[in-house]
Structure 1
Amino acid sequence: MNRFSGKITNFQDEYSLQQNKLAQLCGSKQLFRDRYAILRILGRGGFGITFLARNARLPGNPLCVIKQLCPRTTSRKSWEKACQRFEKEAKTLAQLGSHSQIPMLLDYFEGNGEFYLVQEYVRGCTLAREVRRNGTKNEAEVKQFLREILPILQYIHQNRVIHRDIKPQNLLRCEDDRRLVMIDFGAVKDKLVDTAEDSCNKTATTNFVGTMGFAPPEQFALRPVYASDIYAAGVTCLYLLTGKGPLDFEHDIYTGEIYWQKEVKVSDKFAKILEKMVKFSLDDRFKSADDVIKALGMDSNLPNLANCLTTKPLRGFQDQPKAEPPQTYTSPTNKTAIAIREWKAKLNIHLQVHSSLSTQN
């Protein structure tokens, strides 16, 4: 059966939450698909509705997020494109696997012509809300943000995925461990497949996927590249520093460049990095996350693993008390560096004890 053959009357502009099955189940004891207890609505947009739910069939009834495809359209063609984009998000999440800073795909299914995507629930607030609550950030805090987001971009780009909608609203700060989590992969583009015809986002007047101001010119031309995500990350930095969205800045009427320099107080070196991240011209912009990492000097902090090929504890130190777990998110690289330092410290103690015993004998 053609998966696009269902009626689309339920997805028109006059669509009411009162007609939505999941909305009707909010707060009730009845389970959706005999598994999910629907708690409340998390968000609603032109593309769909997101619900917070619990998996009643798993021990501990863990929380999860259910996205339901509900595009507001009366057009058959737009409905089909929305379905393709929704399915693309599920495939991309499955492709990216279980990265700690990307919500894990738990399920994806169709029922009665409606599409659903179930994801890991990340408790936290967006960077946009964080800035509204706590105010703007300084240079050191924005550099820390780049240290967190650039490795995520490295990872998705290595998997030939372009996010295309990086912005403060799509970046979550997890309450449990303070890690940065990238959400909303509904706008992704696989580098190997030309999906320009799949563009159906109606937030802009042109036929492109993304957000006005955060999307660079090549994205409007439906030719996004990895550097497009670098531009969006740079504009996000400007938001963190000023609290202003990209459309709130003045722009050069001839080149389109953002006039942001007088709005922020950062070092000349960091200003040059930000300037290169948000260049309108691809020729002048950083080409990859690796390039930005090198410019920031982050690559020089990577540990040398040559002398640490085993994690087996030294004899006589098995009963040593373990270090307290960190209160904030620690990247795998930092965890490895900590392990190296602890291993070397224990080795030095062992050698000192051995030397002392040899001297006494």
Structure 2
Amino acid sequence: MAVLIVVFMQIIVYSSLLITFIALLTKGIQSMIINFKNREKTKTNHGFESTYGEPLNLVIMAIILIIVIFLIYIRVGFQWTLRKQDHPAIILSAIPVSYLLIGIIVNIIQYSRGAKKVEIIREPVVNTLEISGEIKQKIDYRRKFWHVFVFILVISILFAIRQYLVTQVNGDLWVEHYQQLLEGYFEYTDGTSFIENIFIRKTPPMGQSTIIIFMYGMVIFMFTIELTRLSGHIFFLFQKKVQSIMREKEKNTFGSYTHFATGYFIAAWILPPFPFLAAMCLGSFADPIASIIGMKFGHRRYFWNGKSIEGTIAGMIIAFGTMIIFVGWIYALVGSIVVFVLSDLITPKPLEISDNILMPIMISLVFVLLTALGIPYSPLIHI
């Protein structure tokens, strides 16, 4: 019986990611076909193009999920006995099951109230250049707020769990067990160790496992919202909320918050806690500040994507100032210049990729390269 339970739990984990992968790939192929058929209709004034469904983003996210499934299989494996190593599988499987139960309850309530089907836009849409600047700013502020909120949530959970483990060790309760969980929790004593652990170690250390579980839950939650919203028949929590902060061109496809969740999900599997927090600083602080400064004070703009030089400079400074806390000045300098500035210059034009996907991938690769060169990261905070 125990074997069946363990196998079932792990099937839930793999299948939930696989379903999301299939949805992304299907939507990506559909978007490519529609874009090809309507390539003239999607052109706007000012020489910009608004793509239906942003197919490249969808395909990249699908590839990321396949890589994550592979990493889960390599690093965690597929267990056939109920052992201590299976506890992550229990937690991971509980997340989609909980969302499913919540979805069932929400739908029962909605249909009992006589809720009608939500109509989904089927025609290609263009950039909302006609929207006033003030409304555009308000929408952007609300979108960026959630980036900051996710960062605060991640770091709060990370430090709260570590503090709990410290308390248990000091209280002489299963000292050896909790001491093992604390070992390498932040893994910054040797800044080069995490490279060889990407594909080798069977289970990530406690701190990294915490972030992986959080990001996995975030990915499943975001895509549950989007799949139910796009279906027009099924209801889930916060559907109206996310609809209010979506850009017009996102309403036929997966919103940009799925880009953010998926991008940092792959980063969580590659980076230990402190480099991961530094990577999140790009999307949670540097990018929002660059956007705000660009909209309010940006006068000199790049002709290819409309972003401002003032916004790029402000974002670079914030990126360096926040990243240095977690990885030291070398990593922060390289990350702020090579990753943030470059991604700001090339997205969404000429490279039609969301910076919420590109930045986590780029910063992970840059950090891996730096550690491969033998340069350890040195956070300013030591715990």
Above 0.5 in TM-score? Answer: no
Q: TM-score, normalised by structure 1?
A: 0.27
Report which structure shows greater RCO (CA 8 Å, sep ≥6): 2
Q: Is the radius of gyration larger for structure 1 or structure 2?
A: 1
Point out the structure with the larger strand share.
1
